[in-house]
Amino acid sequence: MIARCYVDVGVPHLDRVFDYVVPEAMEGLVAPGVRVKVPFSGRKLPGYVVELATESEVADPSAISWVSPEIVLPFDSMGLLRAVADHCAGSFMEVARLAVPPRQAAVEKTQWSALELGAPDVGPSSVDLYPTGEGLRRSLRDGGAPRASWLVAPVISPEGDWADGFAALVADTVASSRSALVVVPDGADVARVLAAVQKRVDPRAVAVLSADQGPAARYRHYLMATRGRAKVVVGTRAAAYVPLKDLGLILVWDDADHSMRDQRFPYPHVRDIAAIRAAWEKCGLVFASHSRSAAVQAWVEKDWLARLESTPSAVRYLAARITATDGAGKPGSSRLPHEVFEVVRAGLRSGPVLVWTPWASASGAMSVEEEMRAAFRGETVVYSHGGWPIAEVEGSQIVVATPGCEPRAEGGYAAAVILGGTSMVGRSDLEAGEEAVRRWLDVVSLVRPGRDGGTVLVVGPLTDRAVQAVVRLDPAGFAARELGERREAGLPPAVRMAGFAGDAGTVEAAREALQNRGWELLGPMQDLDDPEVTRLLVRAPAAQAEGLAGGVREVLVQRSSSRDKGKLVVRLDPDEKGWL
C-alpha cells in the first residue's frame, strides 16, 4: 500500500505530495489525515497522509517510519488548508503548522462515553431585536446556510449583547443537528461568549481552543472536535481551522482586530479563512462587530453577505450621547482640553468614568493617570493596561485604560472620554480610520444610554470622517465611504496587492517574473527609511486575486529552487506603514 503525504521539508518548491510505502505492521493504522514521520534526504520529517493508493509512479519509494493513528486532519480540513495556502501564497505545511496543535500522546488515549444532549435553548435573544434577525435564526434552525454582516449596536441594553446573540445562533444551528464554530480575538472574548453559549447548549458538547490554554488542554479539545464529541468550538485565531462534523455555522467577532491575522508567513487572516471555509463546507457565516471593516463591506456590496443592522437613528436612541472637541480649549498648564475635566467631573456624580487613551507607552497613559489624580484629589483613579488589565469596576471612580484593556462597569459607565483622536486617525497605515472607528465604538458600547445621562467625549479633529462617524453612530456609512475611497486609490480590498521587500537583486528578479501579466508594477524603489531595502508593489484587479497569489507563489518557488540567498519579505495585501 502507498501513502501519499505532505512532508514538512521547509522549502516552497517541494510543496507537493510524496509517495511512501506503508509497512505491513502499520496497515490499518495509516489513513488519510494521520500524522507520520518519513525519511527525507537523510532526515526523518513530520507530515500528513493525504490519500492511500495501491501503486506508485516512483520506482522504489521509501517506507513510513512512524505513524500516529489519530486522524487530526479529516478530508474537509485537507481541502481547507490547501485552499488557504493557495490564497495566501503559502505551502500546505506552513498552514498546517498554524492549524493543528502539537501532538500530546497521553491525550490520544482519552476515551469519551456517548452523550445524550438536551435540546438547545433557542429562546429569544438580542439578534431578534434587529430587522431580519428572526429570519436569520429561522434559516439556521431549518438547516440553511445564511451569510450576514451584523452591525452590533454599541449599547449596554440587550441590543448590544453580541455574546448572547452568538449563543442563540449557535443554539439554532445545534437544533438543526449541525455544529457551530465561534472565533473571537482574545481570551476575554472567549470567556464572555463561552459563558453565554453554555447557558444555551450542553457544556459537555462545547470545546474551547484558546491561546491561553496549555498544550494538553488545547489538544484534548481539538480531539473533541475531530472525534465528533464537540458540537460547538469557541476559540481564538487558530480555532478557525478546527475540524467539526456537519459544520453549519461560523461566527466571527471583530474581524478587524489585528490579532485576527497570523504574524507568521503566509499571514492568513481569520476573515479569509472563514470565508473560504464557508464556501468549502457550504455552511452559514456571520461577521459581527460594532463597526464594519472595508473587507466585509466589499462582500456586503456584492450581496455575498446580507445586512443585519439597525438604523443610525434607532442606535442613537439607545446609545450614549456623543460629542467631540478638537482640544483647542482654554489656555492652561494641562495638555488635556478643559472639556475633558468637565465631562469627568459631571460623570463622577453618578458613577464610574472611563478615560481611554491610545498611548499605551508608560509616558503616555501614565501621564494621563497622573493628570487625573492631580485634578480629582480624593477620587479613586485606577489604570488598566496590558501588563495589568482590570476585568470589571464598580462604584464612582476614574478608570484610565489603554486599547483592549477597558474594564466593564456594572450598569455601564456614566461617562467616557476618548483621547488621542488626532494621533489615531493621523497614522500612516491603510486602516487608521477603520481602526479608530472600531476602537471608539467599543468604548461607546460600555457607556450608559444618553437618556440615563451617559455621555462620551471624543477628542480629535472635528472634520475627520472617523470622528464624525462615531458622533453620528454611523459605522455602515463610514465603511461604505472608506471602501469607495480605496476603490478610487486602487487599494485593498478593492484590488489585490502583493508587496516585496529585500535586496535589490532579489526584488528585481521578482519584478521580472511578474511583468507582462497585465498587473500594475510599482517600483522597484528604495525604502525611504532604510536605503539597503528595495520595495516593489504589484497590483491586480480583485477578480484576479487568486492569480496574483499564484504568481507570488511562483516567485517564492523559483527563489527556493535556485537557492537564492538574498533577503526577501513578501506580504499579500499589506496595510502597515512602509508598504503603502
pTM for this entry: 0.95
Residue range 499-504: average pLDDT? 94
The domain that holds 515 is classified in CATH as 3.30.70
pLDDT reading at 332 higher than 50? no
Helix (H) or strand (E) holding 347: helix 338-348
Rounded to the nearest 10 degrees, the angle between the axes of helix 75-88 and helix 545-561 is: 80
Helix (H) or strand (E) holding 455: strand 455-459
Shared-domain flag, residues 293 and 334: no
Question: For a pLDDT cut of 90, what percent of the chain falls above it?
Answer: 89
Shared-domain flag, residues 135 and 237: yes
pLDDT reading at 328 higher than 90? no
- Which of 266, 287, 313 marks a domain boundary? 313
The domain that holds 424 is classified in CATH as 3.40.50
pLDDT reading at 155 higher than 50? yes
In a domain, 578, yes or no: no
Rounded to the nearest 10 degrees, the angle between the axes of helix 362-375 and helix 338-348 is: 60
Spatial distance between the Cα atoms of 509 and 514, rounded to a whole number of angstroms? 9
- Which of 298, 313, 328 marks a domain boundary? 313
Spatial distance between the Cα atoms of 509 and 527, rounded to a whole number of angstroms? 17
Strand partners for 455: 321, 415
SS3 411: coil
Q: How does pLDDT run across 41-56, given as a tens digit for each residue? A: 999 999 999 999 999 9
pLDDT reading at 576 higher than 80? no
Spatial distance between the Cα atoms of 465 and 474, rounded to a whole number of angstroms? 10
Which pLDDT belongs to residue 580?
A: 65
Q: Radius of gyration (Cα) for the chain, nearest Å?
A: 26
In a domain, 103, yes or no: no
Cell digits of residue 138: 429561522
Shared-domain flag, residues 147 and 244: yes
Question: For a pLDDT cut of 70, what percent of the chain falls above it?
Answer: 98
Cell digits of residue 519: 498587473
The domain that holds 157 is classified in CATH as 3.40.50.300
In a domain, 99, yes or no: no
How confident is residue 331, by pLDDT bands cut at 50, 70 and 90?
very low
Residue range 92-109: average pLDDT? 96
Residue range 153-175: average pLDDT? 97
Shared-domain flag, residues 276 and 398: no
Residue range 318-325: average pLDDT? 97
Contacts of 98 (CB under 8 A, 6+ apart): 238, 241, 262, 264, 268
Contacts of 287 (CB under 8 A, 6+ apart): 148, 149, 150, 252, 255, 271, 274, 296, 305
In a domain, 95, yes or no: no
pLDDT reading at 334 higher than 70? no
Among residues 100, 25, 16, the alpha carbon closest in space to that of 50 is found at 16
Pair 280, 430: CB distance under 8 Å: no
Spatial distance between the Cα atoms of 480 and 210, rounded to a whole number of angstroms? 33
Which pLDDT belongs to residue 402?
A: 94
Among residues 301, 245, 254, the alpha carbon closest in space to that of 274 is found at 254
How confident is residue 399, by pLDDT bands cut at 50, 70 and 90?
very high
Which pLDDT belongs to residue 333?
A: 43
Q: How does pLDDT run across 289-306, given as a tens digit for each residue? A: 999 999 999 999 999 999
Farthest-apart Cα atoms in the chain, separation: 85
Shared-domain flag, residues 258 and 345: no
The C-alpha angle with vertex 382 and arms to 380 and 388, in degrees rounded to 5, equals 155
Residue 400's domain comprises: 320-472
In a domain, 488, yes or no: no
The domain that holds 60 is classified in CATH as 3.40.1440.60
Residue range 335-353: average pLDDT? 94
Which pLDDT belongs to residue 379?
A: 95
How confident is residue 211, by pLDDT bands cut at 50, 70 and 90?
confident
In a domain, 553, yes or no: yes
Which pLDDT belongs to residue 575?
A: 79
In a domain, 240, yes or no: yes
Q: How does pLDDT run across 529-562, given as a tens digit for each residue? A: 888 999 999 999 999 999 999 999 999 999 999 8
Among residues 137, 192, 185, 190, the alpha carbon closest in space to that of 161 is found at 192
Spatial distance between the Cα atoms of 163 and 191, rounded to a whole number of angstroms? 10
Shared-domain flag, residues 464 and 536: no
Count of domains in the chain? 4
Four-CA torsion 486, 488, 492, 493, nearest 10 degrees:
80
DSSP, res 388: B
Residue range 371-399: average pLDDT? 93
Shared-domain flag, residues 342 and 306: no
Shared-domain flag, residues 247 and 363: no
pLDDT reading at 150 higher than 90? yes
SS3 551: helix
SS (H, E, C) 394-416: CCCCEEEECCCCCCEECCCECEE
Among residues 309, 238, 298, 308, the alpha carbon closest in space to that of 81 is found at 238
Shared-domain flag, residues 368 and 238: no
Shared-domain flag, residues 305 and 159: yes
Which pLDDT belongs to residue 566?
A: 85
Which pLDDT belongs to residue 330?
A: 45
In a domain, 331, yes or no: yes
Shared-domain flag, residues 375 and 461: yes
pLDDT reading at 385 higher than 80? yes
Among residues 184, 188, 226, the alpha carbon closest in space to that of 207 is found at 226
Shared-domain flag, residues 516 and 461: no
SS3 72: coil
Which pLDDT belongs to residue 565?
A: 82
Spatial distance between the Cα atoms of 66 and 355, rounded to a whole number of angstroms? 57
